[in-house]
Amino acid sequence: MTGRKPPRGRSRRPLAGDDAAKPAKVQKRQAATRKLSHVGSGGEARMVDVGAKPPTARRARAEGRIRMSAAALEAIRASAIKKGDVLAIARVAGITAAKRTADLIPLCHPLPLTDVRVDLSLDPALPGIRAESAVSTIAQTGVEMEALTAVSVALLTVYDMAKSVDKAMVVEGVRLLEKTGGKSGTYRAVD
């Protein structure tokens, strides 16, 4: 620089990394970004490197439900859906989805799953079907996404199988119930 002062009404250009010159909103967003493990320093999406972490036993459970007409629920209960056994096919779809989560969610690590369970139950009070999954592994990262994906795809499969009877079905309430293992320890949902 020449040592001259900028003309009146103009301020110096902020230098890269000069947080004081950035608007508060930008500073706040950048601070939040630094806390997200899947976001690099420049704000770009990235996969977290878990290579230095030791493999540990991890487990996660998730739930969700699909609301439908009483007629659709009765057709499923009576095995009157033309595509076949809705609950059996949805269960297999959920298990398959858990195993393929890294193919569906871009920043998930592919994990060697040791167990995947998907349970579906008819609930006349909804009316609809409740789904719950339990997924286990011994790995360097958790299986929360696999549990959530299993429930989501199982419920979407129910929709696909029964849409000829009820196109107004609603998938809802998909959430993590519990996760164990890893550095962050145990999490349990509060009702």
CA dist., res. 124 & res. 101, Å (int) = 31
For the sheet containing 56-67, what is the strand order?
Answer: 113-123, 128-139, 56-67, 170-180, 187-188
One-letter amino acid at 115 equals D
Q: Which residues are catalytic?
A: 160
Buried b (16+ CB within 10 A) or exposed e, 24-63: eeeeeeeeeeeeeeebeeeeeeeeeeeeeeeeeebbbbbb
